[in-house]
């Protein structure tokens, strides 16, 4: 049975919200840097009104836990936690890198992905992702890392995903023998629509947490200072 879920994704310059009720899905998605706080809650209210339901009728809240922009991650997590606590709802938290990989799979069908977000300060948020089917994937080596020290896979046929590849063209040059020629996912940012897909899998498996357990994952220990080993 499909759960009724509200999904929130604000970890990058893209802000998105999606709502699933049965087979019906409503969503908002916009690349709107520094406008997440302005857009998020009005969008939630709009989607609930369009669906004709209230927060209390949701089965769960799904939210991106990061990594990503510190302020964006914090806004999304705080909103999800506030709604879940106010209405005593369980939550699903998922990596923004996994959410982006699900989006790349939806667009391209590629099952092997190298997801790279530009983390600024000379680093990337990085993960290898193996997608088994829609909503089913394995996230490996999630980290914040300088592009020049990334250990690339020994196999070929990997899809380059998200904006980190465009930010560090030297990495693209180094990885070209391992990558698929497909370019559709370069620049792709995570979308709440894909968070919904992953969240349904988590809910069906019973992998939910209480509202007070929703925690952001920044990967970087100090989000305000430049790393000492950064150029």
For residue 138, the domain's CATH number is: 3.30.420.40
Q: Is residue 221 part of a domain?
A: no
Total number of domains constituting the chain: 2
Long-range contacts, stretch 79-84, CB < 8 angstroms, 24+ apart: 79/8, 79/10, 79/40, 79/41, 79/44, 80/8, 80/214, 81/211, 81/212, 81/214, 83/6, 83/44, 83/55, 84/210, 84/211, 84/214
Mean pLDDT score, 146-154: 96
pLDDT for 226 beyond 90: no
Q: Is residue 224 part of a domain?
A: no
pLDDT for 231 beyond 50: no
Q: Is residue 226 part of a domain?
A: no
pLDDT for 79 beyond 70: yes
Q: What is the pLDDT of residue 229?
A: 36
Q: What is the pLDDT of residue 168?
A: 96
Query: CA dist 197 to 28, 88, 122, Å?
Result: 15, 22, 32
Range list of H helices, the chain: 36-51, 70-87, 96-108, 164-167, 169-175, 192-204
Q: Which of 116, 111, 119, 125 is nearest to 160 (CA)?
A: 116
In this structure, are 131 and 19 located in the same domain? no
Q: Is residue 123 helix, strand or coil?
A: coil
In this structure, are 63 and 10 located in the same domain? yes
Q: What is the pLDDT of residue 224?
A: 42
In this structure, are 12 and 76 located in the same domain? yes
In this structure, are 15 and 84 located in the same domain? yes
Mean pLDDT score, 148-164: 97
Q: Dump pLDDT digits (tens) for 182-216.
A: 999 999 999 999 999 999 999 999 999 999 999 99
Q: Is residue 229 part of a domain?
A: no
In this structure, are 56 and 129 located in the same domain? no
In this structure, are 119 and 165 located in the same domain? yes
Q: Which domain holds residue 143?
A: 97-178
Q: Is residue 18 helix, strand or coil?
A: strand
Split at pLDDT 50, 70, 90, the class of 220 is confident
Q: Is residue 138 part of a domain?
A: yes
Q: Dump pLDDT digits (tens) for 109-125.
A: 999 999 999 999 999 99
Mean pLDDT score, 37-58: 98
- Are residues 68 and 173 in contact, defined by beta-carbon separation less than 8 angstroms? no
* Mean pLDDT (the chain, rounded): 94
């Amino acid at each position: 049975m499909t759960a009724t879920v509200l999904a929130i994704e604000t970890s990058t310059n893209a802000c998105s919200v999606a709502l699933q009720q049965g087979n019906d899905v409503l969503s908002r998605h916009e690349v709107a840097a520094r406008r997440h706080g302005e857009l998020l809650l009005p969008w939630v209210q709009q989607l609930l009104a369009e669906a004709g339901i209230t927060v209390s009728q949701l089965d769960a809240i799904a939210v991106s836990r990061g990594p990503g922009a510190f302020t964006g991650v914090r806004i999304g997590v705080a909103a999800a936690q506030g709604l879940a606590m106010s209405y005593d709802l369980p939550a699903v938290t998922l990596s923004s890198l996994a959410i982006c990989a699900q989006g790349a799979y939806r667009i391209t069908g590629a099952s092997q992905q190298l997801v790279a977000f530009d983390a600024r300060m000379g680093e990337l948020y990085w993960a290898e992702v193996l997608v088994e089917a829609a909503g089913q994937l394995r996230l490996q080596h999630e980290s914040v890392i300088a592009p020049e020290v990334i250990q690339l896979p020994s196999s070929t046929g990997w899809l380059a995903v998200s904006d980190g590849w465009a930010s560090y063209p030297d990495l693209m040059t180094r990885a070209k023998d391992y990558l698929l020629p497909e370019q559709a996912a370069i620049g792709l940012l995570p979308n709440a629509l894909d968070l919904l897909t992953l969240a349904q899998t988590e809910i069906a498996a019973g992998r939910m947490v209480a509202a007070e357990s929703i925690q952001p994952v920044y990967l970087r220990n100090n989000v305000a200072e430049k790393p000492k080993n950064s150029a």
